[in-house]
């Protein structure tokens, strides 16, 4: 017998999405309960790293995705349970 471990999280358990600058490692969390506008650039005032150009397709797609995540995170009366599966840390396979 093989035992499989999966990591799943329900949408209502997701509170925010975090952005980390690859240049200075500054982080900003965007709560899913607010307007979901991803940052255009690093929030560290000393860093010049741009994430998106103004109103780019990628920025608009991410904003829309965050909006959808936020709606499902707040939804109380869905006729199903929605979960995201996360990549689990590697574990040693256990055979019984």
- pLDDT tens digits along 74-94: 888 889 988 999 987 776 666
3-state secondary structure of 51: coil
In a domain, 1, yes or no: no
With cut-offs at 50, 70 and 90, classify the pLDDT of residue 50: very high
- Of 57, 50, 60, the closest CA to residue 19 belongs to 50
Predicted confidence at residue 96, as pLDDT, reads: 64
The sign one gets for the Cα dihedral 46, 47, 51, 53 is positive
In a domain, 39, yes or no: yes
Name the domain count of the chain: 1
> Any bridge partners for residue 29, and if so which?
18
Q: What pTM was computed for the model?
A: 0.75
With cut-offs at 50, 70 and 90, classify the pLDDT of residue 23: very high
In a domain, 92, yes or no: no
Q: Please, are residues 55 and 37 in contact by the beta-carbon 8 Å criterion?
A: no
3-state secondary structure of 61: helix
In a domain, 35, yes or no: yes
Domain around 40: 13-79
């Amino acid at each position: 017998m093989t035992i499989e471990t999966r990591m799943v999280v329900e949408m209502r358990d997701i509170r925010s999405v975090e952005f980390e600058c690859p240049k200075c490692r500054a982080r900003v969390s965007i709560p899913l309960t607010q307007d979901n506008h991803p940052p255009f650039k690093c929030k560290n005032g000393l860093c010049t790293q741009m994430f998106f150009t103004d109103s780019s397709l990628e920025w608009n797609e991410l904003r829309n995705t965050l909006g959808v995540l936020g709606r499902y995170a707040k939804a109380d009366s869905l006729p199903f349970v929605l979960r995201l599966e996360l990549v689990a840390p590697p574990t040693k396979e256990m055979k019984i």
